[in-house]
Amino acid sequence: MREMPAANPIIYDSSKCIGCNRCMEVCQVDIFIPNPEKGKHPIVAYPGECWYCGCCVMECPVEGAIELRHPLMNKVHWVEKSILMKNNKE
Amino acid sequence: MYDYKWPYPLEYDREEIINADVLVLGGGIAGCMAAIAAARAGQKVLLVEKGATKRSGAGGSGCDHWESAATNPCSKVTPEELTQAMLHDNDGFNNGISHYIECREGYDRLLDIEKMGGKIRDTEDEFVGAEFRDDGTKFMFAYDYENRFTLRIWGTTFKPAMYKELKRLGVNIVDRVMVTSLLTEDGIQGARCVGATGIHTRTGKFYIFNAKSSIICMSRPARIWLFSAELPGLCEFRPPQCIGDGHAMGWRAGAEFTMMEKSVRAEFSAAGRSYPPYGAGNNHNTWYAASIIDSRGKEIPYADRDGNILKDVKDRFRPAKGQKFFMKGGGIDFPKYEIEGPETLPFSKMIEEGYKLPFYADLTDLPEEERKVIWGMMVGQEGKTKVPIYQNYTRQGFDPSKHVLQCYGAGWTSASFLPQERQLFGLPGGFFNDWTLGTNIDGLYVAGDALYASDCYGHAAATGYYAGRHAAKYAKVNELKHWDKKQVEDEKRRVYAPLKNDSERGIGWKELNMAIAKTMQNYCGEIKYDDLLKVGLSRLKEYEENIIPQTFAYNPHELIRLLEVFDILTVSKIIIEASLARKISMKSLCFVRGDSIEDDSSKEKLIVIKQYDGKVVTREVPVNYFGDLKENYEKHNQDYI
Ligand SMILES: Cc1cc2nc3c(=O)[nH]c(=O)nc-3n(C[C@H](O)[C@H](O)[C@H](O)COP(=O)(O)OP(=O)(O)OC[C@H]3O[C@@H](n4cnc5c(N)ncnc54)[C@H](O)[C@@H]3O)c2cc1C
Ligand code: SF4
Ligand code: SF4
């Protein structure tokens, strides 16, 4: 049985990841465990403990193999300034 | 809810003993610099880190500004002026010794880090001619462009550079080990420190570290009032494994603390309340001096300390008329008039005048180099910004020359907390230190955010290096003393006990942390009452006596999380004891009592507190106990000068 976590900080692209575990070894919170299948990306065992620092992504040798995603509630909004200015005129 | 088997060998009953001259506990900024200093002094150094030293600690992922580099060639202020300003800004309730070290040696550390491979200058000439750049040295300054004592730096390069230097110097780095207790001579509380114990976070193996001198660099407490079981990693500003283990083990060993009654209404990073630091609209620190606009695009004016509206963006970086210098950054929350810098007009005033919410941070109209230095350098080099903010927002289409970023919470801060949701933030309490950064325990030194009234990267680096020097000096003239067998056996029993409890009826680390946080909110919230504090203390003692024996952990990872919560419980007790010891409200410590109407601000005394023989012992010390800064610094550091 599995349960969806409150947030899913790490998303892997299995087609790119070479399974080197460098992301896992640099994480100071140690949220990962190695994959029992050799050569596959680590498993996020403790997703809630992620500090969202990005060091795992900074350490990865393959562009795009690992992605860090803020929880939805932390998604910050932005808008084009010109749209705000238009609102002002209306 | 995974079905995976624990992937590492379980070594709960195994023991490893490691000897050294100097033992560094915690491998963040202060710890790395302490180890480097001690190794350079010819000592055999052992560094123990709970995470992975390469990127661990609050500053592991980056840092965008280095404060108080008063001795850099462009600075127009002296270390004495700057330290005095910091002391005055807090009515004396600040660490004169550690901040003087920061001002006096911070720039030396910056040059050190450059030699190790860290980037501290605009060597690519990206910002040639910008007003914040000195074209001679290629240094880039922040905030006060006239006085030039805070540098913008490429902090993402720093921690890996320090890590490389540690290895080059032959420091023995032990990663993934949580330090759990200090060892004292003959096991006596308050006696000389002879080392520490630890437990491996993946295998559960037990470690005994035996050393001539030890340095505590394990940052400061957290998760005392704030906890989210779903997102414990986002509860606080600093990394989730930094929760004050050092304070708890120091307390048990009989070390002295001060200002532990100080806490502030939470400001940052409690899961759910705030937005990603430096990732939402604001105009502080990293984002100084972004423009702030309302939702019609109307700009909120900046004003100087006298309320004069500043028309030109350039004026946001200049002291006011008649002002020598102004200060911004980590330790500056509500600056006094003397050092108050330019600021956007108050939120409440803007609402009165009909400005429309929400507000936004606007870089579109800034001069190009100001926009580029905020978005791309500061946001990018600052901790936790390179990947989650700079890269991700850019990929999602954010363009700082077109888009404006929304502000949340009251005004342009990124969160709004309840009064009882508190944090040790903005120069909180910690270990009490002397001029060697030594504690009352012989052979035990402290550096970085673990010191009382401390904050910031440069402060951690400077005090780390300084403590490393003095601990090395101690180690040179003192013999290695053996540890006490009984003390080690007692500690082993303590740390492994939860594994032997009943899993079905067991209480996990999150349940206990949540209960402590609620207790602290209820009994030690914004306004303190003796009667409530005492009830709170007895609740915590109940947890200690009746609940801890029922706790359970499935594996080494959960075990260290649980041991952390035991430490959170100990720190909560220190905070209540310190609050009980201060009988009268004191604004300078954000300390409010409901059962005393007086304000004690004129009575400038630190309450120094420790535990001895199961009892709490307090003494009063004048806030300026450290005497003349320059004179005492020079007395203790002849070999460095
Ligand atoms: C996102 C962010 C941005 C920041 N930006 C800036 C900035 O731009 N400028 C600035 O001046 N300051 C900045 N700071 C503050 C600065 O990073 C800290 O003040 C500084 O890192 C403190 O150094 P330290 O060594 O005391 O603690 P840390 O660097 O946090 O190191 C503490 C270390 O101790 C380890 N540890 C904890 N408990 C144990 C244990 N029981 N056993 C073994 N090891 C343990 C931890 O794993 C950690 O590695 C920022 C902080 C954050 C969080
Ligand atoms: S973002 Fe940081 S805390 Fe989260 S998994 Fe990556 S390295 Fe670990
Ligand atoms: S560092 Fe990158 S390539 Fe290596 S395991 Fe992690 S995601 Fe895969």
pLDDT tens digit string along A71-89?
Answer: 999 999 999 999 998 877 6
> Contact A33/B4, CB-based, under 8 Å?
yes
Residue B410, pLDDT score? 64
ipTM of the complex: 0.97
Ligand (nearest to CA of A13): 3
- Cα separation, A41 vs B209, in Å, equals 34
Q: Could you list the residue range(s) of the whole structural domain that residue B132 is in?
A: 15-217+431-485
* Averaged pLDDT for residues B128-141: 98
Residue B73: CB atoms within 10 Å: 10
**Binding site membership of B58 for ligand 1 (Cβ less than 6 Å):** yes
Q: How is B408-456 classified by DSSP, letter by letter? A: -SSTTSS----TT-EES-SS--EE---TTSB-SSTTEEE-GGGBTT---
Residues B162 and B40 in one domain: yes
Q: Count of alpha carbons within 13 Å of B87, Cβ hemisphere only?
A: 22
User: Do the beta carbons of residue B59 and residue B50 sit within 8 Å?
Assistant: no
- DSSP classification of residue B18: E
Residue B599, pLDDT score? 61
The domain spanning residue B137 has which CATH number? 3.50.50.60
Q: Is residue B500 part of a domain?
A: no
Closest ligand 1 atom number to CA of residue B458: 11
Residues B335 and B461 in one domain: no
Q: How is B118-183 classified by DSSP, letter by letter? A: -B-S-TT-TTTT-TTEETTTTEEE-S-TTT--SEE-BGGGHHHHHHHHHHHTT-EEE-SEEEEEEE
**Binding site membership of A19 for ligand 3 (Cβ less than 6 Å):** yes
Residues B402 and B435 in one domain: no
Residues B400 and B435 in one domain: no
Give the closest residue to B215 by CA, choosing from B16, B45, B356: B45
The structural domain count of chain B equals: 2
**Looking at the domain A10-89, which fold is it?**
Alpha-Beta Plaits (3.30.70)
Closest ligand 2 atom number to CA of residue A32: 5
pLDDT for B463 beyond 80: yes
Residue B3, pLDDT score? 74
Q: Is residue B452 part of a domain?
A: yes
> Contact B156/A58, CB-based, under 8 Å?
yes
**Binding site membership of A20 for ligand 2 (Cβ less than 6 Å):** no
Residues B38 and B176 in one domain: yes
pLDDT for B597 beyond 80: no
- Facing B60 at nearest CB: one of A2, A28, A88: A28
pLDDT for B372 beyond 70: yes
User: For residue range B24-53, what is the model confidence (pLDDT) as tens digits?
Assistant: 999 999 999 999 999 999 999 999 999 999
Interface test with B, best of A78, A80, A83, A90 (most B CBs within 10 A): A78
pLDDT for B535 beyond 60: yes
Kindly give the distance from the C-alpha atom of residue B544 to the centroid of ligand 2, in angstroms, as a whole number: 32
Residue B273, pLDDT score? 83
* Averaged pLDDT for residues B595-605: 70
End-to-end, the C-alpha distance of chain B in Å comes to 58
Residue B415 — pLDDT band, cuts 50, 70, 90?
A: confident
Q: Is residue B499 part of a domain?
A: no
Sign of CA dihedral B98, B246, B510, A10: positive
> Contact A58/B61, CB-based, under 8 Å?
yes
CA-based radius of gyration for chain B: 24
> Contact B176/A74, CB-based, under 8 Å?
no
Query: Model-level pTM?
Result: 0.98
